[in-house]
Structure 1
C-alpha cells in the first residue's frame, strides 16, 4: 500500500494558505454572528458551503497527481510532438513540461500554483478552477461583510492614519499606532480585497483560455488554439464528462476524457476547407 508523503516544498505554501483561509473564515463568522437581523442563518449556510468547496477542492488538488510518475509512456511508439526531458531522462508527450519547482514533468502543465506549492496539470485542473471560483465568491462575500469596517473608517474622515491603517496595517501595528484587534481586522479586510481582485483576474483568464482549450503556458507561448475542439469538448477535456456539475462539490464524479498523454488536435484542414467553401 502506497503511503502519502508530503513534499517539503509544499508544506510552507500550504500552511500559509491555510492560515489565510482560517483568518478570513473566522472573521466572517465573527461578523455574521455579531450582526443583528434575520440574515444570520442564510449567511452562515452560504459561508459554510463556500468554505466546504474551497477547502475540499484544495485538498483534492494537493492529493491529485498530474506528473508522469506512475504513468506508462510508450517509448517504442513515440508520436509527433514528443520531446526528451534531460532532467527526468525520459521522453515526454505533447503539452507535458518540466517544472523545476516540483522537479518533475507534469502532464498538460498549466502553471505552478505558488499558494499550494504544486503544478496545475491534467488531473487537478478541475479542482484548481473550482477552488478559484468558490474562492472568488467567498472573498466577495467577505469583502461585503467588511464594508462596514471601511465605512466606519471613512465616516471618521479620510486621514493619514486611516489610510495607513488600510494600506499598511503591519507598519501601524509595529510602530504601536493601532491595537492588536484593529490590526487583525484591517489586515484580514485587506486580504479579502486583494484576494478578491487576484481571484477575479485569474478566473477571467482561465475562463478565456478554457473556452479555447488552451493552457496558460500555451497561451503565453504562442500556441493559443492548437487543441481547440469547441467549447463543450474543451470543458469536458479539462473538467471531466460532468463539467456542468463539478462546481457543486469537489467529490462530484466527473471522469476525465483521455489519458493525459494523447490529445485531439484542432482540425486545421477542416477549418481551412470550410473557409474556402464560405468564400
Structure 2
C-alpha cells in the first residue's frame, strides 16, 4: 500500500483525539483531496480503515482473515488460503482454467474405461472401483470449477469484483455497479494486460498500480451528462454531502478536488435566487 494513503502523524493524532465524527471526516477529506479516489462508503463518507489506519484506495477492502487491506479485493479464497485481489487475480483465473483443463483431461481419458465398466467389458480387477471413482470426481470438479470460472469471466467482462457484484461501489452521484467498466475488451486487458502472448502464462501483466482505476466518469462530457438527475439525487440526500454534485471531468478526477467546486455551486444557486 502506498504511503500517501496513510495519515500523517499530526493528522493521525488529531483524528484519534477527535470524538466528533464530522470533524474526523473533515480531517480525512483534507487528506483525501490529494488522493486518486473516487468512491465513498455506503454512508457517503471517506472510506477509512480503523484497523490499518489508512484511507482505503478505490476497490480496496479489509480482509478479516488476513487482517490487512487488500488492493482491489475480490474475496478470501479458502482453497488457496489467501486473499484474491489486484496482485494475484490473474493467477487465480489461470488456476481455475488449468484446473478446468486438467479435470477435463482426466474425465475424457477415463471415459472409455467407464463405458466398459457399465457394459461389463472391463475385466474384474480392483481397478474397477478406482476408475469409477476417478471419473465421478473429475466430472464433479469439472462442473463446479466450470461454473466458478464462468462467473469470474463474467465479472472480468463487467470489470467488477465479487464484493462489488453484491454491493455496488458508491460514487459521488450514487451507487453504480458499472462505474469501473470501460467496455469488455478494455476490462479484460485491465486484468490480463495488453500483451496477449502473456495471457495464458503465469506472469503478472495486469495494468495499473491497484490504487487508482479509470472510471466511466473520467473523460465524460459534462454537457452530455444528466445533470438534472444528479441534482435531483443530491437534493434528495441533503445539502451536507461531502462530495461535489457535478460529474467529474478529466481535469477533475478526484473525489474531493477543491473547495472551488462548492463555491461554484454556491454562486450558481445565489444567481438563480437573485434572478427570481
Please name the residue that 1:36 is paired with: none
- Give the C-alpha shift of residue 199 in structure 1: 1.6
**Distance across 2 between alignment mates of 1:217 and 1:180:** 47
- Per-residue CA distance 1:40-95 (angstroms, 9 max, x = gap): xxxxxxxxxxxxxxxxxxxxxxxxxxxx4xx4343433444351112223221120
- How does 1:224-235 map onto structure 2 within 5 Å? 224-235=177-188
Number of residue pairs matched? Answer: 184
Structure 1 unaligned spans of 5+: 1-67, 158-178
TM-score, length basis structure 2: 0.58
Q: Does 1:102 align with 2:66?
A: yes
- Give the C-alpha shift of residue 180 in structure 1: 7.1
**Distance across 1 between alignment mates of 2:132 and 2:222:** 54
Q: Does 1:238 align with 2:196?
A: no
- The answer to whether the 8 A contact 1:212-1:228 is kept is yes
- Flag the structure with higher helix content: 1
Q: Does 1:114 align with 2:78?
A: yes
State which structure, 1 or 2, has the greater radius of gyration over its C-alpha atoms.
2
- Give the C-alpha shift of residue 274 in structure 1: 8.3
- How does 1:115-154 map onto structure 2 within 5 Å? 115-154=79-118
**Distance across 1 between alignment mates of 2:135 and 2:3:** 47
Please name the residue that 1:194 is paired with: 140
- Give the C-alpha shift of residue 270 in structure 1: 5.0
Kindly tell me: are residues 215 and 270 of structure 1, through their superposed partners in 2, closer, same or farther at Cα, counting changes over 3 Å? farther
- Per-residue CA distance 1:188-212 (angstroms, 9 max, x = gap): 3332112111121112111111111
- Give the C-alpha shift of residue 123 in structure 1: 1.1
Give the match's secondary structure for 1:264: coil
- Give the C-alpha shift of residue 183 in structure 1: 4.8
- Per-residue CA distance 1:239-273 (angstroms, 9 max, x = gap): 2232x22344224x63x322111111113855993
- Any runs of at least 4 consecutive aligned residues in structure 1 with deviations exceeding 6 A, and if so which? none
TM-score, length basis structure 1: 0.57
Structure 2 unaligned spans of 5+: 7-30, 40-45, 170-176, 227-276
Give the match's secondary structure for 1:131: helix
Please name the residue that 2:211 is paired with: 261
Please name the residue that 1:74 is paired with: 5
- Per-residue CA distance 1:163-216 (angstroms, 9 max, x = gap): xxxxxxxxxxxxxxxx97555444433321121111211121111111111111
